[in-house]
Amino acid sequence: MSWLAALCLLLLQTEAFKITWFSGDSLTHQEITEKAILNVTVQVCRALARAEGKDFSLPRLTAESVAVACEAPKSSKSFRQTIKLIQVKNREVDTSFSSDPRYHFDDENFTEGRKIITDGLSVVKASNKRNNFETARGKLGQILHTLQDFYTHSNWVEMENNLPNSNLIRANAVIGNIAAESRATCRNCNGDDCTNNILEDILREKILTSGYFVFSISSSPKPTGKCSHGGFLDGTSRIEPKGGINKDDLGASHGHLHMKAANLAIAATSELLEDIRGAAGDRPFLQMMGISKGKALCFVIDTTGSMSDDIAAVRDVTSSIINSRVGTEDEPSVYILVPFNDPEFGPLTKTTDPKVFKNAIDSLSATGGGDFPEMSLSGLQLALTGAPRNSEIFVFTDAPAKDQHLKSTVIALIEQTESVVNFMITAILGRRRRRQSDDVQQQQFSSRMVTSDGQLYRDLAQASGGLAIEVTKSELPAATSIITESSSSSLVTILQAARSPGKAENFTFTVDESVRNLTVYITGTFVTFTLISPSGVSQESTDTTGSLITASQSVGNFKTLKLKTQPGLWEIKMVSTNPYIVKVIGESLIDFLFDFLEVSQSPFGDLDVVDNRPRAGVNGSLIVTVTGSDSTTVTEVILVESSGSREVNSSVEALGGGDFFAKFDRIPAEEFVVLVKGQSSNGSSGIFQRQSSTTIKASTLSVTSPDSNRVLVPGILLSVPFSVMTSGAGGNFRIQATNDQGFNSNFPSSLFLETGGSANGTVNLTAPSTTPSGTDVTLTIEVEAPTGADINYVVLRFAVLKTVTDFTRPVCEVLSLQSNCSDICSLSMWELSVQVTDGAEGTGVERVSLRQGNGTMNTSLTAGTGNMTTGSGNMTAGTRNITLVSYSSSCCSPDVELLVVDRVGNVASCFYSVRKAATSSSQPAITSSSQSPTTDVVSLSTRAVQSFLLCFSITILGLSLPF
């Protein structure tokens, strides 16, 4: 089967675009984005499988089936979460930039709109280069909205273009023949019929125009004779020429062209993703999309003098995990290490290479310390911002936190990233530095600190759904078994509850047939329990011969119970007057994602995702997405208060595609978790239960920051505005702004708000001039009510990017191409020699790889003379590196495609072929195409787009495919 036929088959298997939230029959930005992501991700995984000689099959085009086809079924949750994040950032453009025509290609802002896309594309590529995928995803979602709007807001479709405008993602290319400011482009619509309101000469001469849009007639009337966007929100549509040209939905002014515009937007989105793929490489592209075999392995380690035993235990468990997991489906996707001491913490080591990680662990040494508190929360803050979402982080320490003022910041980051933090606490907190002292008073003082110091860590663990494990140093190696168990990438939380103070209470939980390795974790002292299985069999904690617990371990305050996995309703009866946590986990692909929703501030209405704490005491809603299954149905979504068993139930509505809408009469003012129950396709035995790990705290405060320029230029101050609103009492509200990179910043220490009022503030942030491009910084702005009882926050990610001046793709030049191909291809060879440069103003070639071809490629560097661009963007005369590429192959593989990437991510595709000519002499003919001003180049992304549209046409016409 040809690659074109395979792609066509893939597209023919695709279902209609799903309804996202409340979209109706029209295609939304969310659906367009998801479709393109799935299409390109499939192409990446198919290419990797082909390179490894493996078969590739895809029964359906869903996130779950794509993850399975990519041999990473356990990453279906992170893949789905990545898609949803990109979709949310796409949607937010309509909220944050609703009146800015540049972000929508309105008002003929073509050059300005293209600059938003290309500047954002530079951010995505620079962030990917440093593995800062979260920042890349956010910027990607934003620029995709602008790109997609081009096809519905301009007249590109009306000009009968059947391919996307590839020059929208190229900074130095011609977008098209843009209408002059004085040139009329539209006439009045004929009543409600706007199908022919664009002037004939505009279409005939291929003049590019777009509709004007304002929310009121008086704000900014459109120039004479120009087209309007159209619709009841557009004030210009009532100024002659009346009407509009947008294709936003089927009912729009040019709604008859909505589907064609949407499919061109899918093709254009695919083309942009292919460009990002080329710059990053296939494996990093999949990581950006959340597809990897395992979850992150993340350690935050105290390196002060008494921690040598702890560091040794970390070395052992690291070696064990790497040795047992590398090459399996649970191989960690990324390894993260953050050391901390006093006053230093960091740097953060992030790598996909297990050898690099082991070397980083081996290089740790336990030295120094001074006074006993350490910078533990600073180290944890760095890990939370550097690790992927939903990571499990392990903090090792035997000292209290010196930076306790960061507690609320850390909790904000835990809530925002939904990461689980486990504390491995050894020795006696607060006493290690003075254990040799004879000062009795000091010893007593230190003992009094133990409870409060440990409580900070216990609070943070409970907020994240983690555990605070307190053991002696000799017990630590046994306790690290939790790390090995938690490194499985398909762990789900079935139940988690904390009681402080402790009390006798019965907990029930449902286990479905997909769950494996059912495990119970208990932390606390002097805790007893009784387990009751679905079949009614019970086992006491003191009974070592029962049939329900297949293995158990007790170390320090930590107990692990391995249960006989039995589907159905379980019960565990806890008895203790001391604080305890009980957590039930298992391995399953079925899990869920959720986001709180609020009424959008956009003039277009709808609902927006709440990216911090929801409003307390009022009604609210959630969108819940089931992951890991295409057929599981959610029947209940419950908010369970953490301090007890009080619950808030909801009404649940299926939206399709695994999405469910849950509406609540009130959001609890107390801390709570989200509990989801549902039904799998297995019938009555398929009842399932899942719970969020992270504890959620609602707030009467609202903290927002407009999604403005999220790019820091090194050495240039960036002002970040934010707004605070309260539905409660007024007064002076404390402001705290911290960033994980320690960049210089200033902000108001407080803001005064009237009762039920609002106020604005600004954080000024500056990255040092030496900061590398692609670095990201996470800024957390916290607001605390005058009473100190209520806190809310906003978490913002910024990319650092030096000004990019190189927009030219590398150039390939054939030096020689020789062949002795004959009718028996296996007995003949062909050879190619290519010179690759990055042009006079380029930053230099960084990577040459094979995108197509089964031969052998070698590269070498040689020097050439001429002008070159320095890292600062200045032109200088000097020696330029030239990359020489040699390629040889059997004539049975007559095609080769070189992918060339320069240092700022410009991508060139150079294609060469040697095939038998259709002549009477039957002599072989040699053809080539490369990225050169004098040759015809068709890049892979362009060919993919053309194939997409060809397949689309074949599908519509019902033609047979050439398999």
Greater pLDDT, 82 or 325: 82
Q: What is the mean pLDDT of residues 599-628?
A: 85
115 pLDDT above the threshold of 90:
yes
Task: Please report which confidence band the pLDDT of residue 879 belongs to, taking 50, 70 and 90 as the band edges.
Answer: low
Q: What is the mean pLDDT of residues 89-118?
A: 93
Residue that has been written with the tokens 């409580």 in this structure: 455
CA separation for the pair 61, 10 (Å, rounded): 8
Task: Please report which confidence band the pLDDT of residue 515 belongs to, taking 50, 70 and 90 as the band edges.
Answer: very high
724 pLDDT above the threshold of 60:
yes
Question: What is the pLDDT at residue 22?
Answer: 46
| DSSP for 828-881, written as a single string | -EEEEEEEEE--TT---EEEEEEEE-SSEEEEEEEEEEEEEE-TTS-EEEEEEE
With beta carbons less than 8 A apart as the criterion, state whether 443 and 495 touch: no
708 pLDDT above the threshold of 90:
no
Question: What is the pLDDT at residue 602?
Answer: 65
Question: What is the pLDDT at residue 793?
Answer: 96
Task: Report residue 236 as tokens.
Answer: 């210009």
Question: What is the pLDDT at residue 452?
Answer: 64
pLDDT in tens, 570-600: 999 999 999 999 999 999 999 999 999 988 7
Q: What is the mean pLDDT of residues 698-706?
A: 93
The dihedral over CA atoms of 11, 17, 18, 21, expressed in degrees to the nearest 10, equals 140
Question: What is the pLDDT at residue 450?
Answer: 54
434 pLDDT above the threshold of 80:
no
Question: What is the pLDDT at residue 432?
Answer: 45
Task: Please report which confidence band the pLDDT of residue 604 belongs to, taking 50, 70 and 90 as the band edges.
Answer: low
Task: Please report which confidence band the pLDDT of residue 608 belongs to, taking 50, 70 and 90 as the band edges.
Answer: confident
Question: What is the pLDDT at residue 370?
Answer: 58
Question: What is the pLDDT at residue 684?
Answer: 46
Q: What is the mean pLDDT of residues 762-780?
A: 96
With beta carbons less than 8 A apart as the criterion, state whether 455 and 400 touch: no
pLDDT in tens, 142-173: 999 999 999 999 999 999 999 999 999 999 89
Compute CA distances 728 → 723, 750, 756, 790, whole Å. Answer: 16, 17, 6, 10
Question: What is the pLDDT at residue 128?
Answer: 96
With beta carbons less than 8 A apart as the criterion, state whether 561 and 522 touch: yes
The yes or no reply on domain 491-588 and CATH 2.60.120.380 is yes
With beta carbons less than 8 A apart as the criterion, state whether 391 and 420 touch: yes
Question: What is the pLDDT at residue 281?
Answer: 95
Question: What is the pLDDT at residue 99?
Answer: 84
Residue 611, number of CB atoms within 10 A of its CB: 16
CATH number (2.120.10.30, 2.60.40.420, 3.50.50.60, 2.60.40.10) of 703-800 reads 2.60.40.10
Greater pLDDT, 13 or 794: 794
CA separation for the pair 240, 263 (Å, rounded): 31
Task: Please report which confidence band the pLDDT of residue 864 belongs to, taking 50, 70 and 90 as the band edges.
Answer: low
Q: What is the mean pLDDT of residues 483-511?
A: 90
1 pLDDT above the threshold of 60:
no
Question: What is the pLDDT at residue 916?
Answer: 56
Question: What is the pLDDT at residue 873?
Answer: 42
Q: What is the mean pLDDT of residues 884-892?
A: 94
Q: What is the mean pLDDT of the chain?
A: 86
pLDDT in tens, 377-430: 999 999 999 999 989 999 999 999 999 999 999 999 999 999 999 999 997 554
Percent of the chain at pLDDT > 70 equals 86
Q: What is the mean pLDDT of residues 534-554?
A: 90
- Ordered alpha helix ranges (H), 174-247: 200-204
| Per-residue DSSP letter, 437 | -
Greater pLDDT, 686 or 631: 631
Task: Please report which confidence band the pLDDT of residue 603 belongs to, taking 50, 70 and 90 as the band edges.
Answer: low
Question: What is the pLDDT at residue 102?
Answer: 95
- Phi and psi for 18 in degrees, rounded to 5? -75, 160
Question: What is the pLDDT at residue 328?
Answer: 82
The yes or no reply on domain 295-489 and CATH 3.20.20.150 is no
Percent of the chain at pLDDT > 90 equals 67
Question: What is the pLDDT at residue 366?
Answer: 84
Greater pLDDT, 926 or 517: 517
Task: Please report which confidence band the pLDDT of residue 219 belongs to, taking 50, 70 and 90 as the band edges.
Answer: low
CA separation for the pair 381, 340 (Å, rounded): 11
Question: What is the pLDDT at residue 197?
Answer: 96
Question: What is the pLDDT at residue 921?
Answer: 37
Question: What is the pLDDT at residue 143?
Answer: 97
The yes or no reply on domain 811-930 and CATH 3.40.50 is no
CA separation for the pair 510, 243 (Å, rounded): 57
Question: What is the pLDDT at residue 961?
Answer: 27
Q: Is 864 exposed, middle or buried (0-12, 13-18, 19+ CB in 10 A)?
A: exposed
Q: What is the mean pLDDT of residues 61-73?
A: 91
Question: What is the pLDDT at residue 942?
Answer: 44
Question: What is the pLDDT at residue 315?
Answer: 92
Any idea where the domains of the chain sit in the sequence?
3-18+26-288, 295-489, 491-588, 590-691, 703-800, 811-930
Architecture (CATH level 2) of domain 590-691: Sandwich (2.60)
Which has the closest alpha carbon to 885: 928, 923, 925, 821? 928
Question: What is the pLDDT at residue 428?
Answer: 55
590-691 and 295-489 share a CATH fold = no
